[in-house]
């Protein structure tokens, strides 16, 4: 005979809402330590620097003003991500990567194809490859439950920007193909 289900009990003095909020947190997942937070955010910040410069290359290959203005907006999103991540890295006692003036291509593989990109379509195809990478990285980071909650919500916001970038590029490539 199965035991009758007992009514759910809450700890004395704990409101159900608080108890539910606590239950959402995974109990077995350890929080990330500060040095790992700094390392992971530094990788993302470097990726944003690379993406910023990759957008610069792409913008130079695109003549259509409406397309350029989208690319410029996405480029500034990456700059904003870099600035915000750098602030958080410093708050944790770390040194953010430099915002290099040149494209070093540490993490972005699409640079080679951007160099030889012929016109709008080539540039957008290269940026699609790059944005697939930034989407993958931000998806992984924002889904990492070991980040502190407040940080994860920032990473989720950035991931939302990345999804917008990739989906616009895909739609535009479909439209002009
Ligand atoms: Fe992006």
Give the Å distance between the CA of 145 and the centre of ligand 1. 22
CA of 4 to the centre of ligand 1 (A): 54
More confidently predicted of 62 and 5: 62
- The gap from C-alpha 118 to its chain's centroid, in whole angstroms, comes to 28
- 11 is a domain residue: no
How many domains is the chain built from?
1
Distance 14 CA to ligand 1 centre (A): 43
Q: How far is the CA of 44 from the centre of ligand 1 (A)?
A: 11
Q: Which residue range(s) make up the domain with 140?
A: 33-176
| Domain annotation covers residue 13 | no
| pLDDT at 21 exceeding the cut of 90 | no
Task: Using the mean position of ligand 1's atoms as its centre, give its distance from the Cα of residue 58 in Å.
Answer: 12
Averaged pLDDT, 76-100: 96
Using CA atoms, how far apart are residues 159 and 52, in angstroms rounded to an integer? 16
Q: Distance from CA of residue 114 to its chain's centroid?
A: 21
From residue 126, how far is each of 80, 113, 162, 163 by CA, in Å?
Answer: 22, 6, 15, 16
pLDDT at 92 over 90: yes
Going along the chain, which residue ranges are E strands? Answer: none
Given this model, what pLDDT does residue 57 score?
86
pLDDT tens string 144-155: 999 999 999 999
Cβ count near 154 (within 10 Å): 18
Q: What is the pLDDT of residues 118-128, one digit of tens each?
A: 789 989 998 99
| Residue 176 predicted with pLDDT over 70 | yes
9 belongs to a structural domain: no
- 166 domain-assigned: yes
């Amino acid at each position: 005979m199965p035991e009758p289900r007992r009514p759910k009990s809450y700890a004395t003095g704990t409101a159900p809402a608080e108890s539910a909020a606590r239950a959402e947190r995974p109990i077995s997942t350890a929080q990330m330590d500060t040095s790992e937070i700094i390392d992971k955010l530094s990788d993302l910040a470097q990726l944003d620097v690379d993406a910023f410069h990759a957008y610069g290359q792409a913008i130079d290959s695109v003549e259509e003003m409406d397309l350029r203005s989208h690319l410029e907006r996405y480029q500034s999103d990456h700059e904003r991500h870099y600035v915000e991540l750098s602030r958080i890295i410093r708050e944790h006692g770390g040194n953010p990567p430099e915002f290099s003036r040149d494209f070093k291509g540490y993490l972005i593989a699409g640079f080679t194809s951007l160099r030889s990109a012929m016109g709008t379509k080539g540039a957008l195809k290269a940026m699609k490859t790059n944005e697939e990478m930034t989407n993958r990285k931000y998806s992984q980071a924002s889904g990492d439950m070991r980040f502190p909650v407040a940080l994860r919500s920032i990473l989720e916001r950035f991931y939302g920007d990345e999804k917008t970038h990739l989906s616009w590029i895909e739609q535009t490539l479909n439209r002009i193909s």
